[in-house]
Amino acid sequence: MGPDGELPVTTVPGETAAVEPDTTTAADLTSAPEAAAEVRELVAQSLGQYLRAWWLKVRSGDSGVLPVLLAMVVVAVTFQIITPQHSFLRPSNLVYIFGLSTVYMVLAIAETVVLLLAEIDLSVGAVALIGGVIAFKLVQHWPWWAAILAALVSCGVFGALQGTLTARLKIPSFIVTLAGFLLFSGILIVVLGGADGSVNLDTSKFNQLVIYDLVQGTIPPVVSWILLAVVVGAVGTTLWLRAARRRRQGLVAPPASVTAIRIALVALVGIAVVAICNVNRGTALKSVQGVPWVIPIVLVVLGIWTLVLGRTRFGRYLYAIGGNPEAARRAGVSLAGIRTWAFAFCSATAGLGGLLLGAFFYGQYSTNTADPGQLVLYTVAAAVIGGVSLFGGRGKALHGVLGGLLIGGIAYGVSLLNLGSLSTPLQYILPGAVLLAAVLIDVLSRRGAGSVTRV
Amino acid sequence: MSDVTSDSSQAPAGATDTTTVADLTAAHEAAADVPPELVAQSLGQYLRASWARVRGGNSGVLPVVLAIVVVAVSFQIANPKFLSAQNLVNLFEQSSIYMLLAIAEIFALLLGEIDLSVGLVMGLGSVVVAELVQPTGANWPWWAAIIVTLLACCAVGAIQGTLVARLRMPSFIVTLGGLLILEGVAIIVLGGGLVGIGNSQYRNELVLYNIFWGAFTPLVSWILLAVIVGATGTGLWMRDARKRRHGLETPPRSLTALKIVLMAVAGIALVVICNVNRAHVGTIEGVPYIIAIVLIVLGASTVLLQRTRFGRYVYAIGGNPEAARRAGVRLPTIRIWCFVISALISGIAGVLFASWQVSLTTNIIKAANSYVLLAVAAAVIGGTSLFGGRGKTIHGVLGGLVIGGIYNGLYLQGVSSQWIDVVVAVVLLAAATIDVLSRRGAPRQA
């Protein structure tokens, strides 16, 4: 019942009917902690009630982003202590981690779309790399936007092919995408022009510079602050107006204090990121400062996918299928259609991740740029540790972003440690261990939620 | 249902039906309860019943045998060297690794699980065994090194199996995370350098080297063939005779005889091919040891799955875990053992792999990962279902031969490795599609 029952509440609060305001909520909350904790969170009338309801939800197994936030703190503190000269939290390193993580973030968001269906895409790494190489090859002759578009569309087609095999023929997705992984890894080398092939961006050409600057370019500090003000202002106004509108129309809305705290948190995180990025991280000769372009780009991807998943019919259907495919089918959802589109969108988003990856490595693509197998493991680990369930129906785009940041932090932290011969094996062991830990939490939290019925 | 297919010796005697022929063709879909080929009284009836079963969706080894023929004929046309004795032995040697890994994978697939770590369990096994016999290092006797290696692999399987069976974590995630960790551990054990076993001055290294590269002398090959065919043939014949005496369902005598003759012909062909001198200079002839190793693993795993209570339980869980649980089968225990056996067989493949590669580097360990895809492809092409409950270890051997043939044939044609990967991916997809479609055609399982 669990994931199915929470569907309408978590995904489409806009359509939840008004619940009679309950004056005895506080007493009820403690007496029946397991039942409908989420509804209580929605009907909470004050900040205190809201927090208590949230805590009950966490205790009942649906911990949301809490584990990944705790993990981030642990990782940050640990690496700060054990890195030589305690350099982990230096602004230059943090900005580097942001850049590296954006790749995992975008890929994890892509994977989330498929994970919501209780499927998996093991080919995201290879598809992402192909997307990047296609864009890099095309931009040598085409305008940058056409190259990016063509790359994303080709990746989307790859995804649609895999989605069709999974959705129409009912071949398990992990087999289809495992074969896809092998297939696309092979095609990647062909597209690159052989095992020792490579493609580089020539930054003296405008179109190639644009793609290079997607990650390497920075926004001037003043503009960074202005952009931050605009973004926080827009997000804040939207959140506030939405809550006000809902309250006016008699729908359930979080208490005003909760909305205010949310906006304050967004502002705080934004200010911290801009402040870190605006510190000069260059050398004595050449100053480098400002927010890298890739951060607003990831925010746009996050925003789009949050809207698609939370506010559109397609998004609702994804959660519905992930929660209970048979119920969704009987409700008239075209399972095969939605699944195929989900795989197509996943691969197209992954293609963008591949583009960022190439730009992050200074516009160079060769067979050594990234191992597609390792990339997909980092991706799945990022999504799952961010809070997306492997069993479908539970997860948000934000989870991918948080998980991606954690994975990026771990990956870079290890490389700072000067471990010598141990650093190569650790690059394999750590993501494996993180993935297993994340899945373990996922499995145990579902058990705690008391809703596991599969054998 | 699974009782009948997995252990035909215990099928109760049905009333001897003189009108079987007419019935078989009329209701070949409905007669799923007692497979018609079990009650067939003559070779003709048996063949007709088999054909009806194939048409009903349960095609068994037929597709893979066809695939072997297609692969052999097309590559022979493309390159006359393909079916030369020299290349065939090469192909058998190469395929032996795929065969063992496919058998390992089948133990997971039969449960409806998957083990993506078989490639790196093999990689870890190869590194451990090579390190343990190093004269400058551990310097263990070869047999102790092999035993410890296999035990280490079993431990890996037990850990992964426990996570899957007790905590109910999805097996493909556990083994995906597991393979990453194993890759790291293998690189640590390797110590960043190069470990070789090619120095014939040291006896332990030489024994290890000969496991893959050594061969029985031609005479011993013939004697062994006679012994194996004689023993298996007598075994088959005696079993059927005993069943007939006890009034149990038995295949017709002519069928048993045909099976034994086919086995003998295949064995003789194999020995003749292997006994051709395949060296450019000097003499290399005889059946390689690894063929015997693969046959032993095949025989042992077949007996385990087809003739023991454990095997019946494996099929029962794969067919319907909830039904098996209610019948009193301890799901976690059986599942853990399957993962242990899978890792054990992967470990055996690891010993062979070390012997095959002669010297191991970090890049070879990384490449070991790609073998899992070949193993899954081999098992599924061979006829094992991805959805559990259907498959035999012979499928792994036949599927491994197809994969080995494709690899070898494309390599002979000078096709670069990335295109070989593409072909294998397409073959895997095709096999999975056949599996899905044949399940659709087959009578629905509850």
Nearest-neighbour CA in chain B from A147: distance (Å) = 25
CB A40 within 8 A of CB A56: yes
CA separation for the pair A151, A354 (Å, rounded): 10
CA separation for the pair A9, A447 (Å, rounded): 20
Selected for mutation to probe chain A from B180, B185, B403, B428 (highest A CB count within 10 Å) is B180
Q: Which residues does chain B have within 8 Å of residue A179's beta carbon, measured at their own beta carbons?
A: 373, 425-426, 428-429, 432
Q: Does A48 touch chain B (CB under 8 A)?
A: no
Tokens representing B218 are 């031609």
Nearest-neighbour CA in chain A from B235: distance (Å) = 39
CA-nearest residue to B325 within chain A is A455
Contacts of residue B50, Cβ cutoff 8 Å, sequence gap at least 6: B37, B60
- 294-333 in chain A: CB under 8 A from chain B: none
CA-nearest residue to B370 within chain A is A182
User: In chain B, what is the greatest distance between 2 CA atoms, to the nearest angstrom?
Assistant: 74
Nearest-neighbour CA in chain B from A86: distance (Å) = 26
Residue A393 has pLDDT above 90, yes or no: no
CA separation for the pair B441, A21 (Å, rounded): 56
Are A428 and B184 in contact (CB < 8 Å)?
A: yes
Are A380 and B173 in contact (CB < 8 Å)?
A: yes
Residue A412 has pLDDT above 80, yes or no: yes
pTM over 0.90: no
Are B177 and A421 in contact (CB < 8 Å)?
A: no
Q: What's the whole-number mean pLDDT along residues A334-348?
A: 91
Q: Which residues does chain A have within 8 Å of residue B194's beta carbon, measured at their own beta carbons?
A: none
Q: Which residues does chain B have within 8 Å of residue A124's beta carbon, measured at their own beta carbons?
A: none
Average pLDDT score, chain A: 80
How high is the pLDDT of residue A60? 67
Q: Which residues does chain B have within 8 Å of residue A367's beta carbon, measured at their own beta carbons?
A: none
Please name every residue paired with A200 in a beta bridge, in sequence order, or none if there are none: A364
Q: Which residues does chain B have within 8 Å of residue A392's beta carbon, measured at their own beta carbons?
A: none
pLDDT digits (tens, 9 = 90+) for B8-41: 444 444 444 444 444 444 444 444 455 556 666 6
Are A455 and B426 in contact (CB < 8 Å)?
A: no
Are A185 and B421 in contact (CB < 8 Å)?
A: yes
Please name every residue paired with B360 in a beta bridge, in sequence order, or none if there are none: B195
pLDDT digits (tens, 9 = 90+) for A37-65: 555 566 666 777 778 877 777 766 666 77
How high is the pLDDT of residue A361? 82
Tokens representing A184 are 């696309």
Residue A105 has pLDDT above 90, yes or no: yes
How high is the pLDDT of residue A449? 56
How high is the pLDDT of residue B40? 66
Question: What's the CA angle centered on B36, arms B34 and B40, to 5 degrees?
Answer: 125
Q: Does A171 touch chain B (CB under 8 A)?
A: yes
CA-nearest residue to B318 within chain A is A455
- 365-404 in chain A: CB under 8 A from chain B: 373-374, 377, 380-381, 390
Residue B373, CB half-sphere, CA atoms under 13 Å: how many?
27
Nearest-neighbour CA in chain A from B387: distance (Å) = 9
Are A120 and B369 in contact (CB < 8 Å)?
A: no
How high is the pLDDT of residue B38? 63
What are the helix (H) ranges across A15-90? 25-31, 37-43, 47-59, 66-82
How high is the pLDDT of residue B34? 57
Residue A420 has pLDDT above 50, yes or no: yes
Q: What's the whole-number mean pLDDT along residues A110-120?
A: 91
pLDDT digits (tens, 9 = 90+) for A248-292: 887 777 777 888 888 888 888 888 888 888 777 776 677 777 788
Please name every residue paired with A198 in a beta bridge, in sequence order, or none if there are none: A366
How high is the pLDDT of residue B332? 92
- Alpha-carbon torsion, ordered B399, B400, B401, B406, to 10 deg: 90
pLDDT digits (tens, 9 = 90+) for A349-368: 999 998 888 888 887 887 77
Give which of A193, A109, A160, A146 is closest to A380, Cα–Cα. A109
Q: Which residues does chain A have within 8 Å of residue B421's beta carbon, measured at their own beta carbons?
A: 182-183, 185-186
How high is the pLDDT of residue B33? 52
How high is the pLDDT of residue A7? 39
CA separation for the pair B169, A394 (Å, rounded): 16
Q: Give A251-306 as a DSSP string.
A: -----HHHHHHHHHHHHHHHHHHHHHHHS--S-SSS---SEETHHHHHHHHHHHHH
Q: Which residues does chain A have within 8 Å of residue B114's beta carbon, measured at their own beta carbons?
A: 174
DSSP state of B215: B
Are B187 and A424 in contact (CB < 8 Å)?
A: yes
Q: What's the whole-number mean pLDDT along residues A320-349?
A: 89
Are A182 and B424 in contact (CB < 8 Å)?
A: yes
Give which of B425, B446, B400, B408 is closest to B67, Cα–Cα. B400
The helix or strand, by DSSP H or E, that contains position A292, with its residue range, turns out to be: strand A291-292
Strands (E), B108-219: 195-196
Whole-number percent of chain A with pLDDT over 70: 86
How high is the pLDDT of residue A15? 41
Nearest-neighbour CA in chain B from A390: distance (Å) = 9
Q: Does A163 touch chain B (CB under 8 A)?
A: no
Residue A309 has pLDDT above 60, yes or no: yes
Are A439 and B173 in contact (CB < 8 Å)?
A: yes
Are A390 and B433 in contact (CB < 8 Å)?
A: no
Are A436 and B321 in contact (CB < 8 Å)?
A: no
How high is the pLDDT of residue A42? 62
Are A432 and B188 in contact (CB < 8 Å)?
A: no
CA-nearest residue to B386 within chain A is A172
Tokens representing B238 are 């005696």
The helix or strand, by DSSP H or E, that contains position A218, with its residue range, turns out to be: strand A218-219
Residue A452 has pLDDT above 60, yes or no: no
How high is the pLDDT of residue A28? 43
| ipTM, interface predicted TM-score of the complex | 0.75
Q: Cα–Cα distances in Å, from B253 out to B6, B13, B46, B250? A: 21, 17, 11, 8
Nearest-neighbour CA in chain A from B376: distance (Å) = 9
Residues in chain B: 446
Q: Which residues does chain B have within 8 Å of residue A174's beta carbon, measured at their own beta carbons?
A: 114, 172
CB A132 within 8 A of CB A151: yes
Q: Is A200 helix (H, G, I), strand (E, B) or coil?
A: strand
How high is the pLDDT of residue B341? 96
How high is the pLDDT of residue A22? 44
Are B428 and A178 in contact (CB < 8 Å)?
A: yes
The helix or strand, by DSSP H or E, that contains position B226, with its residue range, turns out to be: helix B218-245
pLDDT digits (tens, 9 = 90+) for A184-236: 888 888 888 877 778 887 777 777 777 777 777 788 888 888 888 888 888 88
CA separation for the pair B33, B129 (Å, rounded): 48
For tokens 């003296």, the residue is A204
- 272-291 in chain A: CB under 8 A from chain B: none
Q: Which residues does chain A have within 8 Å of residue B432's beta carbon, measured at their own beta carbons?
A: 171-172, 175-176, 179
Are A421 and B192 in contact (CB < 8 Å)?
A: yes
Size of interface A-B (CB pairs under 8 A): 139
Please name the member of B174, B380, B436 whose beta carbon is closest to the beta carbon of A169: B436
Domains and CATH numbers, chain B: 1-56 (no CATH), 63-214+288-441 (1.10.3470)
CB B164 within 8 A of CB B113: yes
Residue numbers of chain B with a pLDDT score lower than 70 = 1-41, 55-59, 192, 439-446
Nearest-neighbour CA in chain A from B327: distance (Å) = 15
Q: What's the whole-number mean pLDDT along residues A119-142?
A: 89
How high is the pLDDT of residue A210? 75
Check residues A142 and A22 and name the one with the higher pLDDT: A142
Are A435 and B429 in contact (CB < 8 Å)?
A: no
